[in-house]
Each structure stands twice: as structure tokens, then as C-alpha cells.
Structure 1
Amino acid sequence: MSTLQPSFPARWTRLSIAGQACTTCKTPPPPERSLLRCTRCKRAYYCSEDCARAHFPHHKKLCRILAALLFNYIDEQPCEDLAEWNRRVADRMVQLSNHLERRLDYQEQNLMLFEPRCHVCFVTALALELEISQDNVNPRTLIPCPKCRIIACCSEAHWDSYRSRHDTVCDKYVLSVSCDNLLFKHDDIRWMQKEYVPVDGPGSYPPLPTGGWPSYFSWRQFPEVLSDPEETATAYRTLLTDRLSQPLTILSALQLAQEPSALRALPTLTIHLAGASQHEILASWATEEIMHCIPALQSLHTVLIDPTLDSKPIINLSLAVCPTCTTRSRSRIFSTHALTYHDFVSSPHYTRPDLVVCFNSGLHEVDGEQWRPTLRHIVDSGIPCAFTSYNKKEVAEDAAVLRELGARIVCGPKRNEWGSEVPLVEPMGVDVFYGNSTWWFVVMGQK
């Protein structure tokens, strides 16, 4: 699975984008000195010449293009409003994509979307630096928040007008940065429960405990694996909710689709993830929690389907299981197919699943020709299907699409108590946050 993840030197964290950490090793600068900087593109920062040299093979092509696009920042004026800023960023992303002659990858998108800027007038750090100051010597610079370090203003006057608002959300930015840094250091943030939930008696599954993540971690005897600063332990636990959100949402949907006795005795399980993305790939290790919660389960097959996945399919790849599952001859299988779901249904690899899940589908926003045949199949087949969304507005609009198709909604739309607690920053807004799978609904056939 590691080959599907971004390479170590290629990943940019929010702090490194903001120039507050080394682009290569992500180390913040010590108080007594500043980071070195790429003099050509002015985007990459380094704690040492060794880190600069290590990053250069991965950076040189992008560096050359970013340097060529610096002219965009000369004489750039502050934006009148957020809409103008978003248009400006969109134009820059198009230019970068055209120069690269391909679509921007996730890291390149973030580099443009989270470019350091004033949170009041949206003037960028580069524009301030390239601005010819009155004495031609000392260009202005952004003033970052000393706590979160990724939010900045271009002047004390703008901080005075914005500080009270920022104070209400600064802790969210801090948690977001902490999760980002921890994920960089530990590509596979995970926690594998080694013991089964008892088949009988208190604590047996189903159902999942009520009360969301605190009750879950108590139920599963969440270990205090990190004895480090509280901020790190909190980030670790928060990242676990992001990874474990996938299997817990699946288990919650299965509870709605099957009687407890049938689910408890289930020997095999096939889950299809329609519209799957890199996020589902990275969280694939956590599907073993499904096996740990269904004691009779011997075989779990997770299939990811979406046209944007790698064109070379992965067919029945065996994933590692914990020692207890190994001794019980359990198997966990993983497959991918670069197809729309309705095309996959017609392929020789299709078998009827026990559940379909569309994580963060945003189906109301995309081309109807891509989703409508898939949704038609899901509704007509009667296969239970869970849909998750980033926020309340999106889940309501997604549910409306299913209602138009005559779907029977058996749960929601409502908050998903197994949604991720990682605060993700909406790059096209100001102080707007969202989370993976924080809202959901479940359909089962037609009305």
C-alpha cells in the first residue's frame, strides 16, 4: 500500500507551505534564526543545506515553473473580497497546470490554495515581498499568528480588526497543524485492537456503543500509546478518528441492513466503495476493525471503484491481519477498479456486495451522467448504500438527489457520530472548517 502514498520529500504540510517549517524534514526554525529559502521560486524553505539538496530532485521542475509565474505577483493589489481571491487562485492553478501539462496533484493544489496571505485583504506574502517599498530596502512581510503559525495578516491594523475572530478558531488551526505534522512523521497512523469484542454478554457487537468516539475508545480500551505532550496525544487520537471513521461508518450501516443475530454470525462480507479516493486507500488498513467486531467473520473483501483510481487494477490483494486473525485463518482482501460504478457492475469482476458506501461523494455537484446511472442501479437493486458528506448543506442536497430517484432513506440525513474529528480547512473560505464523513444517510431500495 505504501506505493500508493505520496513520497516523503514530495509532501507539503501547512506549516511548510506557510514558510514556518522545513519543506524537506518539516522542522520549525529555532527562535534565534530563520529558515533558508529557495531563491528561485521563493516557495520552499529549508533548515539546512542538506535538506535543500535532498529536496532538489523532487523540486526542480516545479521550482522552475513557479519561478516563471512570479510575474503574477508584481504590482498585485489586495482583493476586494473573498470571491476575487478565489478567482485569482483558480487562475494561478490553471496556469500552473498548463505549464506542467497535466492536472495538479494533491500537494500542488494545496501549495496554491493555502498560499500565505493576509486574512483581511488577501494580499500575498510574495506580493508584499516583490512590492517596491518607499526606501527600496525593506519590503513588508506577513505577520503570522504566534500560536497556530499558519494564519497571518499584513499589518498590525489588520490584526486588530481580525484578532477577536481568529481567537475563536485558533485552536482548530492548531489541531489541524498538529494532525498534519503527526501524519507526516508517521505515514500509517494506526491502532490495531488485538482482542475481539465478546460474542455474548455486555459489550458484544452489534450494536456499536452510543455516544460517539469517547464511548468507542472506552469500549475498545483505547491505549494511551503516547506519553508525550498533550497536544501530540490529542492529535494522535484525532487522526485515529479519521482512519477509523471508515470501518465504524460501515459497521453502523450494516447494523441498519441486517438483524443482529445474522450480522453476528456473518462468515463473509463484501463492501464496495463507490467514488473511492486516495483517502479510502490510506484508511484501508483500518478495515480489520470490521473483522474484530464481527466474531464469525472469516473473509472481508473491500473493493474501491472510481474512474480516477490507477488504471491498472488491483485484484484480490491480501492485506496483513493481526496475529489473532492469523491464527483463526481470517483473510482480508483489497481490490481497485478504475471505472464508474455502473460500468463496474457490468464487468466480470462484479459480485453483489453486502453494502455499498459512497464516502464524501458530493454527488450533487458532479456530472449527473457519471452518478445517475450508478444511483439508479443502487436504488433498483435494493442493495443497502450509505452516503457521507462533509457538511450539513451537502448531505441535504445529496439526499434530495436520491429522493428524486425514489430511494427509500432509512437513516438520516443527520450527523454521523463516526465522522472524522480532524478539522479540515476550507481553502476557498475564511475560517471555514469541514470534516470527512461528518454527515450521512442510508438508503435501502425503493420507497
Structure 2
Amino acid sequence: MAGGRRRGGGGRRGGPRQHPGTPGTPGPASLPAPLSPAATPAQPNAGAAPKTGRSKKAPEEPAARAPDVDSLGFQAMDRNVPGLSHVILQKLNMKSYEDYKSAMDGRKSGSDFGIRTYFDMFQKMEDTFKFCVECKKLPDALPDPKSLRRCKRCQNVYYCGVACQRANWPLHKKFCKKLKLVALDRLVEWLIFTGDIPFPTDTWTKPAWDVKGWEDWFSMQEQLEEKLGAIVAGRYMTLLWANAGKPRPEDAELRESIRRLVTDFHSRPLTIGLGLRLFGIDPLTRPLTVHVVGASHVETLNTRLTDYDELTRMFPGHQGVEMVMVGVDVVDGPIMRPPLTTLAPRGKVYLSSYKGLYHDFWESHVETKLAAPPDLVVGFHPGFHACPDLLAGWLPTLLLLLGTIACPCSSPCTVSRS
């Protein structure tokens, strides 16, 4: 069940999301799909776009350099941190990743993003994909910036001409069907920020250890098809496809996209629930504290106080769970409140946060009893293995965690490991 959300208003980049089931295989066609221009609606909706439609990307090295592209045709993330590429920074009228962080932390107004309408928002998101995946040229490096055309099949990658598309086809054909799902999901993901996704879920009718996968989870959701149908027919789904600049998919495709995004949304709380189960930590016997170490924009951008309530449905009757998000890039928002000095309220999942390094949080809050020691520490894709600089930054936290173990007594405490 473990997945991992990368929250970012729909305009994200990286490898394709892990989809349930067997990955799609290339079709029988031996030639690349025709190129198609980036379609735009004849009458874009002029309504003001909500602040929640912000996209985010990781910073790229020099702005003048064409983006690096991985084997799937996605612009590569450098530094392994959530953020924005220089391409999208330019579209958002920003100069640096620090400008983006300031905006996310509430130090800039939404108007600085240069987005005025839904159509404008979706087009700026799409602009971040407009570079030739074969020769790596950006639009402004081409004789005609408008010459870029999308792959007509996947609607996800661009080419500057037929020659580049043919040269890239042997690689692209392996992933074209999968990338079509990615292109769809990154648009439908906007409905997470409008509140349409996830749909209201039900208390688990099976013990946690009997739920082996997402199909088991979906089987516990009453009136599932009605819930999916209401989202597909909803106002924001209509606004999306009136302004996205792409043809609206069939309802069946939209339903499958919603299912994938719902599993993506719930992957973090359910991974934590799985961790509690695997380590024999029972939330039914006592209140628990979980620390999410290295939390950043990925875990905290637009996070709502109810985002981890699936743990309550997973463990009905639990004694209370506090989730503390700790990281230097924690985004200001509803969960930006100090950790509890008392135990979490019974039957509730309480979200709090600390903006800073984990070992500093431990010294200033845990050791001084301003926060409870953790029953479980979780790090989602911390990335310290990918970059020496990140590993150096993580080293004090890793040493702290390696030198601290949970005492097997009934009350939470820590014991130094010799």
C-alpha cells in the first residue's frame, strides 16, 4: 500500500506515479503518434483561479541550460528537494527557489504568482513541460517557439519536429501508455486542492492485518461508484476540462484517475498505520506520538487538519495519535502549531509541526518535555542517499535515531544505546 504523495497543485514532475495493477504495455503501432499542437479552448473560463492551484518543481541548475531529462522523458529533479524548476519560476514571475519558499510560507501575496484565471493556471502548469525531450531545447531556443508539438497519444511530452520524435520513439514507445496516465493524473490532482478528492471514507470493516492491498481497501467503501460519479460530474471537474487545453477523457478514465489519486493521498497515513502494525505498536492500548522527520512541502503544502483521519478509520476506538511534522521546509498553514505537551485526545488524530532540524527539535522540545518522545519515527523519501550534501545535513539526525531506542515499558521513554 505504501506510495507517497508529492503534493504540488498538479504541475509536478518526476517518475510516474505507482499505479495499481499491471503497467500498460506499448500498443502494436510501430510508428510514433502524430504530433499535435497544444490545444487551447476556444472560450477559456475567466474566473479567478484559487490559490490552491499553485504548481511546484525542483530547482534546476543554470537557468539558461536546457533541462535534464530522465529515461521517461521527465525533467530531472536536482538536489532531491521539492521546489520549482527555473522554467516554472519564470512562469510564476519568481527569480529563485527562495522566492518560492517565501510565497509558500505566506510572505508573498498570491498575486505575485501571475495567475489570474483557471485557464492561465493550467496553461502555466503545461508550459513547464514544453521542451523537446529529444534535443532538450526550450521554446526560446527554437527558431519558432510555437513549433513544439505534443505526442498525440500520451499528451505528455513535446518534440520540436518530426525528426526528433522519430529519433526518440524507440525509447518513448515503451512508456507512452503509462505517460498518458501521468498526464491525466497531474491535471485531476487539482481536485485534491479543491476538496473533491479524497471522497469521504468509511470505518474499516476488516482488521488492518487483513487488508492486503488497495482493492481490499476499496471494497470497504460504501457507495463507491456513487462517490466517484459525483466527483466526475462535479463543478470543478467541469472547470478543469473547460480550461485545461486538452480534450476531456471518457468518464471511465476519469474514475480510474480518481481511484489512483485517492490511493496516492492516503498512502502516507496508511503507511504509518502499517508501520505501527509491523512494530507491534497498538494504538488501541495507549495514546501514540509519531514524528515525520524531514517533512517538507511534499508533506505539508496545503495540508489540512483532517488529512490523516484515515488512521481513525483504520483503528476505530484508538486512544489518540499525534503526528508531528518536523523539517526545515515545513509550510506555514493549519498544522503550524506546537506539539502537544499532553497526550493526544482520545479517538483523534492531531497534526502539529516544527520548522527546523530534527535534532534541534529533539533538544529543544523532547528533552525539555515540551513534546512527547516518539513511538514511531517515519521519513518519507528523505533522499539523503542521493547527494553527499544532503547526507551531511541528515547525519546528526541519523546519529540521534541510531543512538536512541524505545523502552519496552508501558510508558513512552528513551534509552541510550551503548
Shorter chain as denominator, the TM-score bin is: 0.5 to 0.7
Displacement after TM superposition at 1:293 (Å): 1.9
> Is the aligned partner of 1:120 residue 2:126?
no
The correspondence for 1:290, drawn from 280, 286, 311, is: 311
Aligned pairs for 1:322-361 (under 5 A) are 330-348=347-365, 349-361=370-382
Partner of 1:174: 180
Superposition deviation, residue 254 in structure 1 = 1.0
Secondary structure of the structure 1 residue equivalent to 2:275:
helix
Identify, as 1 or 2, the structure richer in strand: 1
What's 1:362 paired with?
383
Q: 1:167 Cα deviation (Å)?
A: 2.9
CA deviation vs aligned residue, 1:293-327 (integer Å, no higher than 9, x gap) = 2233132211100112247941259xxxxxxxxxx
3-state SS in 1 of match to 2:137: coil
Deviations, residues 324-367 of structure 1 (Å, cap 9, x unaligned) = xxxx9733311111121111111233211111100111122243
Deviations 1:213-255 (A, max 9, x none): 2233235568222235111111111111111111111111111
Residue 103 of structure 1 is matched in structure 2 by 98
Cα separation, 2, equivalents of 1:376 and 1:299: 29
State the match for 2:224 in structure 1: 223
User: TM-score by structure 1 length?
Assistant: 0.56
Aligned to 1:279: 298
Query: 8 Å contact 2:185–2:261 — kept in the other structure?
Result: yes
- Report what 1:308 is aligned to: 329
What RMSD over aligned residues (CA atoms) do the two structures have, in Å? 4.8
TM-score, normalization: structure 2?
A: 0.60
Amino acid at match of 1:163: W
The range that moved more, 307-316 or 92-101, is: 92-101
1:191-223, Cα deviation, whole Å (9 max, x unpaired)? 3333343xxxxx323x2522x222332355682
Q: Distance in 2 between matches of 1:297 and 1:115?
A: 45
The answer to whether the 8 A contact 2:88-2:128 is kept is no
- Equivalent of 2:211 in 209, 212, 216: 209
Map 1:138-149 to 2 at 5 A.
141-149=147-155
> Match for residue 270 of structure 2?
248
> Once the two structures are superposed, what CA deviation does each residue of 1:153-190 show, in whole Å capped at 9, x if it has no partner?
22222222333432331222221222222222341321
SS at match of 2:308: helix
**Counterparts of 2:69 and 2:374 in 1: how far apart (Å)?**
51
Which whole-Å CA distance do the structure 2 matches of 1:80 and 1:330 have between them?
46
Structure with bigger helix share is 1
Q: Which stretch shows the higher mean deviation, 346-355 or 334-343?
A: 346-355
**2:260 paired residue number:** 238
In structure 2, what is the equivalent of residue 322 of structure 1? none
Q: 1:161 to 1:247 in 2, by over 3 A?
A: same
Cα distance in 2, alignment partners of residues 372 and 286 from structure 1: 30
Alignment-mate amino acid for residue 211 of structure 2? P
Q: Aligned partners of 2:69 and 2:228: how far apart in 1?
A: 46
Change over 3 Å in CA distance of 1:34–1:146 after alignment to 2: closer
Partner SS state of residue 164, structure 2: helix
8 Å CA contact 2:10, 2:186 repeated in 1:
no
Alignment check: 8 A CA contact 1:306 1:340 kept: yes
Relative contact order (alpha carbons < 8 A, sep ≥ 6): 1 or 2 greater? 2
Structure 2 distance, partners of 1:112, 1:93, is 11
Unaligned runs of at least 5 residues, structure 2:
1-6, 14-35, 53-61, 79-83, 105-112, 114-123, 233-250, 408-414
Judging changes above 3 Å, is the alpha-carbon distance between structure 1 residues 355 and 222 closer, same or farther for their aligned structure 2 residues? farther
2:203 to 187, 195, 201: 195
Q: Does 1:378 align with 2:401?
A: yes
Any conservation in 2 of the 1:116–1:150 contact (CA below 8 Å)? Answer: no
Q: Compared with structure 1, are the counterparts of its residues 153 and 375 closer, same or farther at alpha carbon in structure 2 (3 Å cutoff)?
A: same
Q: 1:255 to 1:239 in 2, by over 3 A?
A: same
Shift of 1:79: 10
- Structure 2 SS opposite 1:308: coil
Q: Which secondary structure does the structure 1 equivalent of 2:371 belong to?
A: coil
Map Cα deviations across residues 378-413 of structure 1 (whole Å, 9 max, x no partner): 1221149xxxxxxxxxxxxxxxxxxxxxxxxxxxxx
Matched residue SS, 1:273:
strand
The residue identity in structure 2 corresponding to 1:336 is: S
Matches within 5 A, 1:24-43: 35=40
Displacement of 1:111 in angstroms is 6.3
Q: Which runs of 5+ in 1 are unaligned?
A: 16-30, 37-45, 59-68, 133-138, 198-202, 318-327, 385-443
State the alpha-carbon separation in 1 of the partners of residues 322 and 382 from structure 2. Answer: 21
The structure having more radius of gyration, on CA atoms, is 1
**Which residue of 303, 307, 320 maps to 1:299?**
320
Measured in 2, the distance between the counterparts of 1:230 and 1:145 equals 22
